[in-house]
Amino acid sequence: MTPELWCYSLLYWLFALVVIFPPDELVSAGLTIEVLLGSWLGSQTFGFVQYHIRRTAATLLFHTFLIPGYILMLAKTQPWLIDWLEMEVHSSAALVILIVSFLPVFGAALLVCYWWQYNWRHHPLSQSLRLYAADGPTSLNSWLTVASNVNNEFRRIDKFSTKANSVCRVVATDSWLVKITAYRVSLLHQRDAVLSLEGSVDISLPYNSTFDSQQLNIKVTSIKNGVPSFWIKLTALEYKELERKIVNPIVNARQVVVQQSLSDRFLAAFMETVNLNPKVALLGDIDMCIGCMETVANVKLQRRCGSLQDGSGEGCVMCYCRPMWCLSCLSKWFAARQDQNHPETWLSSRAPCPTCRSNFCLLDVCMIL
C-alpha cells in the first residue's frame, strides 16, 4: 500500500468518526443529521417519541453508507487499486467488493422498512412503550397512548436533562427515565426503576476547571419483565440533581464515595469560617432572605477585620445595611464574585455587599443571635 492510500484512508475514517461522533463545533454549525433532516424528523419538543423513532432510523441508515462511501472514495482517488484487483485477484473483484460494501446498507434499509410498517409499530422504542400500555403489550397501537404521555412530560420545563457527549443524553421527567443514544432510546417508568451506583471514575480536567472531576456509573434496571437494563454516566453534581427528580432512591450497595462539588465544598468552608466569627444581637423583626425567600435573614455584615493586627482589613468597608440575606445565599453570592479560575483564593478574597456594594471579607460576616 502506498503512503497516498494510507493518507486517504486515514482522512476518510477521521471524517467518519466526526460524522458518527460530531464535535460541539459541528453541532453548533448545524452540520448534523438532526439538523439536515429536521423537516422530516419533526419537533423533539412537541413529539419526543416520534422524533427519536425517525432519528434513530435515519442515523442507522445514514451511517451504513460510510462503508460503500469508503470503497467509492478509493475507486475515485486510487484507480490503480481497481486495476490491481482485477489483474492480480479476479476480473470482478472490485465489483464484488463494492456489492459487499452495500450489504449493510441493504440490511439497514430492510430493518428500517420493517420498523416503519404500521406507523412504526415494530420500532424498538414502540415495543418498549407497549409494555407500559394500560391494555397490555398485546394491543398493537397501545404504545401511542403511552407515547403521548411521554411527549407531554418532556415538554415540561422542570425535567432533568444532561448531555454526556454529542451522541448520549439522559432525561428524567416526572414519570420516565430515558437514555438517548445514536441508534437507540432506552426508556422505563420511574416507579419500576432500580438505580444502582456501581462505581466511579476520576476524570482528568484542566487545572483551572471548576467542574466536577468524578464520573459515576449507574446501572438502571426495571422490575418489570421484558424491559432491558441500561447504564448512565453522570458527574457528581448531575447525580445530586437526578436524585431530586427520581422517585426511588439510588442504591449505593458498593459504598461509592460521591465527591462534593466545588460550590458545596466552598459553602461548607464558608459556614465553618463564619461560625468562628463573633455573633451579633439585633433588636426588632428580621425580614426573610431576599435571595431565597425560604428562611429568615441570619447574617449581618459588620467590619471587624480592620481591627486585627495583621492589617488584613485593607480594602474592606463598613456596611450599614440591615440583615437581608441568609448564610447560604450570601456564600453563593460571595463565590459568584470570585475568580472562577482560582478557587484556592476564594476564602481570602473580598466581595461587594449585594445591597450597597461595600467590600467585605469572611471575617466581616457575623451570625445573628
pLDDT tens, 104-128?
A: 999 999 999 999 998 899 999 999 9
pLDDT-based confidence at residue 357 (cuts at 50, 70, 90): confident
pLDDT at res. 308: 45
pLDDT at res. 138: 60
pLDDT at res. 265: 80
**329-348 average pLDDT score:** 84
Where, residue-wise, is CATH 2.30.29 in the chain?
156-259
Report whether pLDDT(309) > 50: no
pLDDT-based confidence at residue 136 (cuts at 50, 70, 90): low
pLDDT at res. 52: 95
Architecture of the CATH domain 156-259:
Roll (2.30)
Report whether pLDDT(170) > 90: yes
pLDDT at res. 233: 92
Global pTM? Answer: 0.71
- Reported as a single tens digit per residue, the pLDDT across 12-24 is 999 999 999 988 8
Report whether pLDDT(204) > 70: no
Supply the mean pLDDT for the chain. 85
**167-172 average pLDDT score:** 93
Report whether pLDDT(99) > 60: yes
**323-329 average pLDDT score:** 88
> What 3 state SS string does the chain have?
CCHHHHHHHHHHHHHHHHHHCCCHHHHHCCCCHHHHCHHHHCCCCCCHHHHHHHHHHHHHHHHHCHHHHHHHHHHHHCHHHHHHHHHHHCCCHHHHHHHHHCHHHHHHHHHHHHHHHHHHCCCHHHHHHHCCCCCCCCCCCCHHHHHHHHHHHHCCCCCEEEEEECCEEEEECCCEEEEECCCCEEEEEHHHEEEEEEEEEECCCCCCCCCCCEEEEEEEEECCCCCCCEEEEEEHHHHHHHHHHCCCCCECCCCCCCCCCHHHHHHHHHHHHHHHCCCECCCCCCCECCCCCCCECCEEECCCHHHCCCCCCCCCCCCCCCCCCCHHHHHHHHHHCCCCCCHHHCCCCCEECCCCCCEECHHHEEEEC
